[in-house]
Amino acid sequence: MDEGLPPAIPFLPSRVHQYDGGLIVLGMDGEVLLLGEELKPRHPHAKPFPMKISHSTVLNDRLYATWIDGELMMARMGCIPLDSAPKSGPPRADLRTKSTIEKAKHPEGNIWSHVLNSEPLALAANGEHLVFVLWRTGVYGLTPDADELWRMAEPTWNYPKKRPRNAETIALHLNEDSFTLTSRGGRIQRRSLATGALLEEFIAVGPEAPLEHHFKQGTHEIICSTTGELTWVHEGELLRTIKLNGPIQFASWDPTLEGWRIAGWREELLITSTRNERHQWDEIPVHIEPVKGGALVLFNNGTWKNSPFEGTAPVNYEEE
């Protein structure tokens, strides 16, 4: 039994981001929790908006996020500060009574927030740019304060024949002066960060489409198919192909071990140039946090455990 681990998350976690103060944990129903030293809560968790956060990114102590609810046919995009306690917003019942944009409810404590008229597919921020994609609407570039820089039409892709959902964007990555969009059909477009204009299009290295995830950190990439095939790509070359038991929840490059830590379906993987290890779990891991030479695994029930793939001794926050 693991001892000395961080306190359990008091809701069902869906995603974790790093920020200057520690970690921010997002919940399945829109909860927001800030963790500080030793991954202990800095404030009580709150629910700024009563919808699940579908896409999110962190930049300069701000959380940029999209909220969407299929039942209510509503979506929002906004920015919440991370240098203060999160605030709880309106109850879900209030959303049903606000039928106009002028009367629309927004996330509580937001720096800015907008109503979206289409499903958000991707969101990323870097430096002075915030880029997002709306289904069947277009690609948009904003400043971090929501001033529009440019907008482009919905991406069109060079496919020899059309297949269902081929054109859906599954990943968005920002670089210094350009960004890339990855489609479910297995194509990647590189576009100008200054204007959104298309610079080039090429076929993704890795599994055959349809794709489900595309994780990228520096020159290392993990590309995953909907059938559970995973490929590790470095500088455009395929290094490893692995078949998983189910869908991937999370993947992150660990610079200490020079490899990928991957949260799969009731399994955890470590992939390096010399190691290819798997560990079965009873619960579903949603995040793996490298710390103290090892790592902590956060599960979908809110509990933490030590990763079996350690560089040093297991993590124990009770040690002096």
CA–centroid distance for 264 within its chain: 15
CA distance 201 to 199: 7
CA distance 127 to 123: 14
Structural tokens at position 7: 């306190």
What are the CA-CA distances from residue 87 to residues 128, 132, 241, 246, 301 (Å)? 26, 25, 44, 36, 23
pLDDT at site 292? 77
Run means of pLDDT, 10 residues per run, the chain, 320 residues: 82 96 95 96 97 96 95 93 96 78 89 95 96 96 97 90 85 96 96 97 90 94 93 94 91 92 96 93 96 90 94 46
pLDDT at site 21? 81
CA distance 265 to 304: 16
Q: Residue written as tokens 């949260």?
A: 263
Q: Residue written as tokens 């919940």?
A: 27
Closest CA to 34 of 53, 62, 54, 55: 62
Alpha-carbon torsion, ordered 284, 289, 295, 297, to 10 deg? -20
pLDDT at site 70? 86
Domain ranges of the chain: 13-224, 225-320
pLDDT at site 161? 72
CA distance 123 to 77: 10
pLDDT at site 186? 93
CA distance 12 to 28: 6
CATH number given to 13-224: 2.130.10.10
pLDDT at site 98? 62
pLDDT at site 313? 40
Q: What is the pTM of this model?
A: 0.92
CA–centroid distance for 87 within its chain: 22
